[in-house]
A and B are shown apart, each in its own frame.
Chain A
Amino acid sequence: MIPIDNFLVLSSILFAIGMYGVLARRSALLILMSVELMLQAVSINFVAFAVYLSPEVFTGLVFAIFVIVIAAAEVGLALAIVLRLYRNRQTANVDEADALKW
């Protein structure tokens, strides 16, 4: 059996890449993709722990499924917002969308 460390390292790398993407990118689409990476990193953690700690119940696996479902819904919503943003401003650069402040 593959040791759990491998999974955890994988998910950490994935999460760090996703976080870097969220922080460093300015394109709304790329930020969304990075968020997906972070979510999947969490899912990997869930599944790995579920298998190693309590293989007889499906709690962790169910959580992973939930994350995927909610991520799909969230992407649908977020893409719609991005689309409206692009229609209004002719750009998907989040730096340009700074109207919501004092």
Chain B
Amino acid sequence: MGMEQAWLIPALPAAAFVVITLVGKYLPRKGDWVAIGAIAASFVLFFFVLADLLDVVDEPGFTGGEKSWEWVSFGDFEIRLGFFTDQITIVMLAVVSFVALMVQIYSVGYMRGDPRYGWYFAVMSLFVAAMLTLVLADNLLLLYAAWEGVGFCSFLLIGFWWEKRAAAEAAKKAFITTRIGDVGLLIGILMLWREAGTFDISEIFEFAEAGGYGATYLTVAVLFLFAGAVGKSGQFPLHVWLPDAMEGPTPVSALIHAATMVVAGVYLVARMLPLFELADPIALNVVTGLGLTTVLISATMGLAATDIKRVIAYSTLNSLGLMMVALGSHSVTAAMLYLFVHAFFKALLFLGAGSVIHATEKQELDELGGLASRMPLTTVTFAVGTLAMIGIVPLAGFWAKDEILHFTEVGQNAGVYGLMLLSVFITSLFMTRLFIRTFLFKSRDPESRKHAHDAEPAMTVPLLILAVLAAISGFVVFSGVGEAMGFPGGFGEFVFLEHAEEFEFNWDIVVLSTVLGAGGMMVGYVFWANDAVPATRMGELFRPVYNVLYNRFYIDHVYQFVIDRVVLTGSSIVSWFDRNIVNDTGVDGSAALALLAGWQLKFTSTGKLPNYALAISSGVIILALVFLIVKA
């Protein structure tokens, strides 16, 4: 067992999907144990793959373990289907298989009694299979197929409660918005393939390093690839779908819209970073710019959002932006480290929010509050997640965030660095608000608080495990910790683009980010403590600013306007053209012409034999004459 068998990891959940879909309703518990068993087996398999990788990772010239089969071949043209394992893949595999396992267990409690309980586990399994395929794909075509697969599962799961109009619309919005990016991704893939003649990622890298692509061509191609990442990872300006995606069941948000699918874009850019490096610097500047914009707008929008899940969705956007900035600063290490720890604390936050919603059936911050005494376990774990997100020492988020800040300081100009620091403060502010408004002080809806309590073990155990990981997973940056677990060293010595880097304490950044984080928490406490009087007063004082934030910078409004006015006008013109020109004139017209011609011509058939004989003979004579003239 090892990297050669890595394909089994996605194959198991895929098989679970098939089993549950076909015979799920005859199985006990509608087959949820099939889904959990499959993902648990995948998680175990992951360790075999990891052990195999660790055996060879130190060997010089190691680039990754590969196993591929012929997929399509016609003539000389061949597409191979393959799976590829290297350090970046391993990090993603760990995140996806582990978080999926936690979320599936949690879902047993959360989804109990749902009329489509079995279907939920089937689609979740399909999602996990697609996501793992995406991670392991060795060629861009398979990656693209899996990319669409996760998008489709995301669509199904956001719209899981499609009887609710908002859920159906959110699903549609998510699907269409990400599709816009996906078109770019496809164009990028085809551009890379057109010159290199292969979809294989390593071969494309070799081709690019040999200078096979023109500089401008490559820049355009990677920017198209990045468009796919922008859609999937909710970067500005395609971020609008992610907050709405919260209409889905909360475990779905935890798995798909926090820990795995939305980081697929980050993973794609990290994986293709050698190409971004070879391209014009403008490519990575675009990555940084959009990432930074996302960081800032999401943090500020999070300040005004009122739905507990939406606030966490904005924090996810914030984190995704941070990862993009890290990639824009040439650091795979920082981005992947953040991705790694983010999966734990963000899944934790979502599952905690799920517990709150499960217990109170409320998700507006204005109807929550004072839950700490009723749900101590949820409160404590949620607090760990919040602190990790803010980046307080020594929780996981702290190490990752400082790594990103460090690379931003080194790799970007002072303006970018300053805005990043500002975002640390705002993030801390809105995460503090979320926590205070949900768990502390007086409840604003005592009725729902009265019967709130911590959930059953199926839901609390994943919370606890994730909380522990959210607290300690950041220590992987230290060489000692990494070596103790059998890795070559700390995170930076395991996942890197060109050369390994040992983690170093950067006291400036540590002090600065801690001060900003803690400052944000204090200001947040002053603002939102008790009845949140200062915050309300601030909101009234800066009413226009508050309105802009509350209305999400009017970006959704602008899109709605564009869709209503431009897209629908355009489509009505096209539909008029189709109806009148293509259909009525072209299709119906040619049919009518044939009918008319037939009507006119049928009167020439008299039924009299001599007429036909005359027509045949004169026809032959004319043909003969024509033949003679042409020949002569």
Contacts and interface: CB of A to CB of B under 8 A. Distances in A.
A1 B33 CA distance: 103
Interface in B557-581: none
B610 A99 contact: no
Interface in B580-632: 602-603, 605-610, 613-614, 617
A48 interface: no
Contacts of A101: 605-607
A94 B610 contact: yes
A19 B610 contact: no
Interface size class of A (residues with CB under 8 A): 10 to 19
Contacts, number: 28
Interface in A9-32: 19, 22-23, 26, 31
B613 A98 contact: no
Contact of B617 (A23, A26, A94, A99): A23
B607 A99 contact: yes
A98 B606 contact: yes
Contacts of B610: 23, 26, 94-95
Contact of A22 (B603, B606, B607, B613): B613
Q: Which of A26, A99, A101 has the most CB of B within 10 A?
A: A101
A95 to B, nearest CB: 6
A77 to B, nearest CB: 16
Contacts of B613: 22-23
Contact of B603 (A23, A31, A102): A102
Interface of A is mostly: loop
Contacts of B605: 101-102
Contacts of A22: 613, 617
A97 interface: yes
A102 B608 CA distance: 12
A102 B599 CA distance: 10
A17 B617 CA distance: 13
Contacts of A2: none
B606 A31 contact: no
A98 B29 CA distance: 79
Contacts of B603: 102
Interface in A50-102: 94-95, 97-102
Contacts of B617: 19, 22-23
A26 B609 CA distance: 9
A98 B607 contact: yes
Contacts of A99: 607
Given A23-B614, A23-B617, A94 B606 contact: no
A28 B458 CA distance: 98
Nearest to A96: B608
B624 to A, nearest CB: 12
A79 to B, nearest CB: 16
A100 B607 contact: yes
A87 B320 CA distance: 95
A94 B614 CA distance: 14
Contacts of A100: 607
Contacts of A23: 610, 613-614, 617
A45 to B, nearest CB: 15
Contacts of A95: 608-610
B609 A102 contact: no
Interface in B80-133: none
B608 A98 contact: yes
Nearest to B598: A102
Contacts of A94: 608-610
A72 B86 CA distance: 86
Nearest to B605: A101
A23 B614 CA distance: 6
A95 B607 CA distance: 9
A31 B605 CA distance: 20
Contacts of B614: 23
A74 to B, nearest CB: 16
14 contacts: A22-B613, A23-B614, A23-B617, A31-B609, A94-B608, A95-B608, A95-B610, A97-B609, A98-B606, A98-B607, A100-B607, A102-B602, A102-B603, A102-B605
Q: Which 8 A-B pairs have the closest CB atoms?
A: A101-B607, A98-B607, A94-B609, A102-B602, A98-B608, A101-B605, A100-B607, A22-B613
Interface of A: 19, 22-23, 26, 31, 94-95, 97-102
Given A19-B617, A94-B610, A97-B607, 12 more contacts: A23-B610, A26-B610, A31-B609, A94-B608, A95-B608, A95-B610, A97-B609, A98-B606, A98-B608, A100-B607, A101-B606, A102-B605
